[in-house]
Amino acid sequence: MSSSNGNGTVTGIEQALGFDKHPYEQDGPSEGKLITLPIVNHTFSLAYLYDTVIAKLIRIPIKVLLTLSYYIVHGPITLRRKYNVSRKRINIPSRERGRKIKVDAYLPTNLFKSNKPLPVHVNWHGSGFVLDCFGADGDFCAYLANKMQCIVLDADYRKSPEHPFPACIHDGEDVMNSIFSSKSNSVFNKQLPPLDLQRVSVGGASAGANIALVMGVIFGGKKICAVATIAPPTDFRPSARPKLAPQPNHPRALPRKVTLFFDRCYLIPNMDRANPTLSPVTCNMQKGQLDCKLVYIAAGKGDTLHNDGYNLIESLKRQGHQNAVFCGVPGEGHGFEKAIGKGEQKQKALAVFDDIVKLIKATWQESTPADSTLKVKL
- Determine the pLDDT at residue 339: 75
pLDDT over threshold 60, residue 368:
no
If we measure between CA atoms, which residue out of 203, 200, 125, 138 comes closest to residue 168?
125
- Determine the pLDDT at residue 369: 53
| Per-residue 3-state assignment (H helix, E strand, C coil) for the chain | CCCCCCCCCCCHHHHHHCCCCCHHHCCCCCCCCCCCCCCCCCCCCHHHHHHHHHHHHHHHHHHHHHHHHHHHHCCHHHHHHHHCEEEEEEEEECCCCCCEEEEEEEEEHHHCCCCCCEEEEEEECCCCCCCCCCCCCHHHHHHHHHHHCCEEEEECCCCCCCCCCCHHHHHHHHHHHHHHCCCCCCHHHHHCCCEEEEEEEEEEECHHHHHHHHHHHHHCCCCCCEEEEECCCCCCCCCCCCCCCCCCCCCCCCCHHHHHHHHHHHCCCCCCCCCCCCCHHHCCHHHCCCCCCEEEEEEECCCCCHHHHHHHHHHHHHCCCCCEEEEEECCCCCCHHHCCCCCHHHHHHHHHHHHHHHHHHHHHCCCCCCHHHCCCCC
Q: For 336-354, what is the mean pLDDT?
A: 87
pLDDT over threshold 60, residue 128:
yes
Rounded CA gap, 13 and 2, in Å? 10
21-39 pLDDT per residue, tens:
333 223 322 222 223 567 7
Per-chain mean pLDDT for the chain: 87
pLDDT band at 345 (very low <50, low <70, confident <90, very high): confident
Rounded CA gap, 51 and 12, in Å? 31
- Determine the pLDDT at residue 373: 54
pLDDT over threshold 90, residue 175:
yes
Q: For 239-246, what is the mean pLDDT?
A: 87
Rounded CA gap, 122 and 267, in Å? 25
Set out the domains of the chain in order of their start, with CATH numbers.
1-38 (no CATH), 41-373 (3.40.50.1820)
- Determine the pLDDT at residue 181: 85
Answer yes or no: are the C-beta atoms of 101 and 171 closer than 8 Å.
yes
